[in-house]
Amino acid sequence: MTDPATRRAVLLATATGAAALAVGCGSDGGGGGGDTSTTSGQELARTTDIPVGGGKIFTDEKVVVTQPTKGDFKAFSAICTHQGCTVGTVADGTIDCPCHGSRFRIQNGAVANGPATRPLPPKQITVDGESIRLA
Ligand code: FES
């Protein structure tokens, strides 16, 4: 289920900005650690990367971060609760799954449109200045 190396390989194969990705991510493995004491958590994004009233999907981390209202950031699993596809877009106030059309509200992950019947589970993030990190 969690295989960031594979996802990263796909990204590297498709993105011309691969060097930027490699430079931006300083950790190799150790994804299971929940220790947030001294080393800062993994930065997902800058607050300015997340549009107000929208969001951004991080496929490598399987997380979607939204900003329903200015300065209010939320995070949810990016795995659709219908059949497990990764959600594909954030538009018009919903997080949309490309597989069968389920849509989830950016405010709370609740189902706005089926066939999914369960909300996207929330994820813990911290906002430190302009950095959004996995908690
Ligand atoms: S897996 Fe998302 S709508 Fe079916």
DSSP string, 62-85: TEEEEEEETTEEEEEESB-TTT-P
In a domain, residue 33? The reply is no
In a domain, residue 60? The reply is yes
Mean pLDDT (whole number) for 7-14: 42
Beta carbon of 85 within 6 Å of any ligand 1 atom: yes
pLDDT at 42: 77
What values do phi and psi take at 7, rounded to 5? -60, -40
State yes or no: pLDDT of 15 exceeds 70: no
Higher pLDDT, 7 or 62: 62
Which pTM was predicted?
0.70
Structural domain boundaries, residue 81 = 43-134
CA–CA separation, 46 and 30 (whole Å): 22
CA of 115 to the centre of ligand 1 (A): 7
In a domain, residue 24? The reply is no
Beta carbon of 133 within 6 Å of any ligand 1 atom: no
Q: Which of 57, 62, 82, 87 to mutate to test the pocket of ligand 1 (most atoms within 8 A of CB)?
A: 82
Beta carbon of 112 within 6 Å of any ligand 1 atom: no
Q: Which amino acid is at 127?
A: V
3-state class (DSSP) for residue 126: strand
Lowest mean pLDDT among 33-37, 56-60, 97-101: 33-37
Q: Which of 62, 64, 76, 83 to mutate to test the pocket of ligand 1 (most atoms within 8 A of CB)?
A: 83
Please count the structural domains in the chain: 1
pLDDT, one tens digit per residue, over 65-86 is 999 999 999 999 999 999 999 9
In a domain, residue 21? The reply is no
In a domain, residue 15? The reply is no
pLDDT at 43: 86
Q: What is the CATH number of the domain that holds 80?
A: 2.102.10.10
